[in-house]
Structure 1
Amino acid sequence: MTMTDTTMKPAAPTASPLQLVSRYGVFVAFLALLVLNIAVTPNFLSWQTLNVNLTQVATIVIVATGMTLVIATGGIDLSVGSLMAISGALAPMIFMGNLLPIDNMALAVTLAFIIPVLAAAACGWFNGFLVTHFRIQPIVATLVFFIAGRGIAQVMTNGNLQVFKNPSFQFIAMGHVAGIPAQVALMVVIAILAYCLIRYTVLGRQIIAVGGNEKAARLTGIPVRRVKTFVYVISGALAGIAGLIVVARNSASDANLVGMGMELDAIAAVAVGGSLLTGGRANIFGTLMGAFVIQLVRYTLLANGVPDAAALVVKAGLIIVAVFIQLRADRT
């Protein structure tokens, strides 16, 4: 009788409670907010409420997706709200003929979608240029357009409210694709593309590598400057798209208000979604869920008579808690 030796495989390390919270806390928070609203918020399960929350969260997800890529490289982008204002100011000027004398309305509307997004992407490139070529800290580099961007938008419009009615342009916010609000469909497409970029492409792996250890990434031949510039360009472009959605939804462009506070919403969505604010990780699906949590927090407060200003305090608190959990989880 022969004995067969068996090799015992080491057991997989057990995740600590903090690590579990870091990974799945956003889903628990989302479900808790759903249960809370079902219990205390009138008509929460109505189609109208669902539509309001989906359309409101779309711009947060779009901007936060770009923010996720930037943060994954170890950076941050404070300029997204101001870039939304620039994009939102440019679009009506184009299709209303205040910027370019275009008689063909179809061409004017097409350019109103393209030029503002390219302008916002160019601003994002400038942010990346400051970060990569002048070694300026991202929080300082993007602070330039955080301050100047909204001023540029106000100068372009002379500080005036631009009111318009253009169904072709406003389709991006008020139209439907296969019964789904166009902005929600666009949000889903952008989130899927970003997920595929991170999950399945060389560039996605390079983004994570740069954020994890920039020096090591450079030594392995990764074009660090190009990668970091790319994520700021994408962040700017997505902010530009979000700006178009906001002004199309409101049927008006107000450079003083478009994108106001969006940088906080985007950073909060990324932090709550589980991506490390120090870089090296990009959880696109987590960012999506984080954005829903941010939106539901705001909706819950407003629906129950709490002033909107309180939502800012709650968002700031969410960021602090999320960062604390991430830091503690990484040490365990």
Structure 2
Amino acid sequence: MSASLVSARHLTLLRNHGGIAALVVLLVFNAIFTPNFLQLQTLFVNISQVATIAIVAMGMTLVIATGGIDLSVGAVMALAGAMAPLIFTSAFGVEYPVLGLIAAFSLPLVAASMCGLFNGLMVSVLNVQPIIATLILFISGRGIAQVLTNGNLQTFKNPAFSYLGTGKVLGLPFQGWLALALACVLFWVVTRTIFGRYLLAIGGNEQAARLSGGPVRSVKVGAYVICAFLSGIAGLIVVAINSASDAARNGNLMELDAIAAAVVGGALLQGGRAPIFGAILGATIIQLVKYTLLANGVEDEVALVAKAVIILLAVYVQQARKE
């Protein structure tokens, strides 16, 4: 058997099962060497963190499937998270608590979706490179959030809103169930709808999709809107978990986690694939890598390097696949 054939077989195994193998290794290592890993409290904390990353990573997967990228997801999280407490603690929210709470959930998501619309129009109509188009909101979005809050930490007590981040269903964190529900919906969209069919076609060959009469622009805009909408949900979850909104920290470096999770989960940077449940797998691996390093006394800066290495390895496997 030739060396090239063996290498190709190894790459195939790594591509198809590498994520699951990495997850098993992380789980076994932590079960043996990391104190308190098997406690329920640790499980709840990790599920909460995985859910937030996974929700953003699923949106990022859709954008990557079109051959794009979205660097603004963390800033959109900060913006949505900053708006919610301002709304339900305002005079209107205090006088009409039910309407204020509804507005605190809905208006930030509308604002997040508008951010996605801005990104999508920049990319699909003005033909701005995705990394440049989304860099605009990456820079300005968090600034807008800090202006709205005057740069101050917003603390609050609102059990109904906090349930989004601290509630439990069947003993497990609510946001975990929410992430799973969103994954099922997006999986159906990708695999069963015309939108999903064109989404993958655009990433596979945008010119061919355009020549075939496909709604290329609207589908690309839709991918960015969905990504931003999901980022808004993640931003609200973070605020609900902490009962506080910190525009300087909410979603900080989430773009790195989301891209890493999407790529590790099987999304191809050149587009054409949208493995929604793979994004959840990738998010779980990213979170466990971070947890493993921190729980064993490794600095957070090293965790950032580890994420970068994970992305590099995933990209290497993708490049090797094309050769």
> TM-score under structure 2 normalisation?
0.96
* Residue 290 (1) aligns with residue 282 (2): yes
Secondary structure at the aligned position of 1:204 is classed as helix
Q: What displacement does 1:101 show?
A: 5.8
Q: 1:185 aligns with which of 164, 177, 189?
A: 177
Q: What displacement does 1:19 show?
A: 2.2
Q: 1:309 aligns with which of 298, 301, 311?
A: 301
Which AA in structure 2 matches 1:87?
A
Rg larger for: 1
* Residue 206 (1) aligns with residue 198 (2): yes
Secondary structure at the aligned position of 1:315 is classed as helix
- 2: distance between equivalents of 1:273 and 1:214? 23
Secondary structure at the aligned position of 2:180 is classed as helix
**Runs of 4 or more above 4 Å deviation:** none
Equivalent in the alignment of 1:8: none
* Residue 93 (1) aligns with residue 82 (2): no
Secondary structure at the aligned position of 1:39 is classed as helix
Equivalent in the alignment of 1:154: 146
* Residues 16 and 329, structure 1, Cα contact 8 Å, conserved in 2: no
Structure 1 unpaired stretches of 5+: 1-13
- 1: distance between equivalents of 2:208 and 2:130? 20
Equivalent residue runs for 1:1-332 within 5 Å:
16-97=9-90, 100=92, 103-331=95-323
Judging by fraction of residues, say which structure has more helix.
2
- 2: distance between equivalents of 1:180 and 1:118? 28
* Residues 198 and 205, structure 1, Cα contact 8 Å, conserved in 2: yes
* Residues 92 and 253, structure 1, Cα contact 8 Å, conserved in 2: yes
- 2: distance between equivalents of 1:101 and 1:163? 15
* Residues 93 and 101, structure 2, Cα contact 8 Å, conserved in 1: no
Q: C-alpha deviations, 1:2-43, integer Å up to 9, x for none?
A: xxxxxxxxxxxx973212211211101000101111110012
Equivalent in the alignment of 2:3: none
Q: C-alpha deviations, 1:76-116, integer Å up to 9, x for none?
A: 00000000000000000000016x56611111111100000
Count of aligned pairs between the two proteins: 317
* Residues 164 and 252, structure 1, Cα contact 8 Å, conserved in 2: yes
Greater CA deviation, 40-49 or 84-93? 40-49
Structure 2 unpaired stretches of 5+: 1-6
- 1: distance between equivalents of 2:277 and 2:257? 16
* Residues 218 and 224, structure 1, Cα contact 8 Å, conserved in 2: yes
> TM-score under structure 1 normalisation?
0.93
* Residues 162 and 253, structure 1, Cα contact 8 Å, conserved in 2: yes
- 1: distance between equivalents of 2:34 and 2:152? 37
Equivalent in the alignment of 1:9: none
- 2: distance between equivalents of 1:56 and 1:285? 16
Percentage of identical aligned residues: 56
- 1: distance between equivalents of 2:258 and 2:93? 36
Q: What displacement does 1:175 show?
A: 1.1
* Residues 267 and 273, structure 2, Cα contact 8 Å, conserved in 1: yes
Quote the RMSD (CA, aligned, Å): 1.3
Q: What displacement does 1:199 show?
A: 1.5
Which AA in structure 2 matches 1:213?
N
Equivalent in the alignment of 2:4: none
Greater CA deviation, 104-113 or 137-146? 104-113
* Residues 72 and 255, structure 2, Cα contact 8 Å, conserved in 1: yes
* Residues 132 and 229, structure 1, Cα contact 8 Å, conserved in 2: yes
* Residues 153 and 245, structure 2, Cα contact 8 Å, conserved in 1: yes
- 1: distance between equivalents of 2:98 and 2:147? 27
